[in-house]
Amino acid sequence: MDRSNERRQKSSGLPGCLYALAAPAYAIRGLAALFRLIHIWRLSRNGYVECPHCRAVNALDLLATCPKCHMTEFGNRLSCGGCGTLVKAFPCEACGVAIRIF
């Protein structure tokens, strides 16, 4: 029984070491999520997105239909107020090319 207690005491530092080794990876993931959130916040503050192909300005607040539940409402075309679906891309109003947001 003394040996099992010694093993438990020796291995008790292992989870702490693993957390310390994984901390930089979680920090990088957290920074990536923060940059994505800042990008989305800037888009919502501007209220428009420029098409990368034809440089036409596309409004974000307009009458839009959700691709999942087919609810039509006036508001932000990036999220549905009915089912909560986030739209990752939408077609440009001028040229029809898909504009990826998320």
Q: Where do runs of H (alpha helix) occur along 12-62?
A: 14-46
d(CA 56, CA 6): 70
pLDDT at position 5, please? 57
Beta bridge mates, 89: 100
pTM of the predicted model, to two decimals? 0.57
Same domain, 57 and 41: no
Beta bridge mates, 75: 62
- Taking every pair of Cα atoms in the chain, the longest distance, rounded to a whole number of angstroms, is 77
Name, in order, each residue with C-beta under 8 angstroms of 32's C-beta and a sequence gap of 6 or more: none
Chain centre to alpha carbon of residue 24? 20
Segments forming the whole domain that contains residue 26: 1-46
Q: Which residues of the chain have pLDDT under 70?
A: 1-12
pLDDT at position 60, please? 86
Q: Which string of b and e fits 51-77 if b means at least 16 CB within 10 Å?
A: beeeeeebebeeebebeeeeeeeeebb
pLDDT at position 30, please? 94
Same domain, 67 and 42: no
Same domain, 15 and 40: yes
Number of domains in the chain: 2
pLDDT at position 12, please? 67
pLDDT at position 16, please? 81
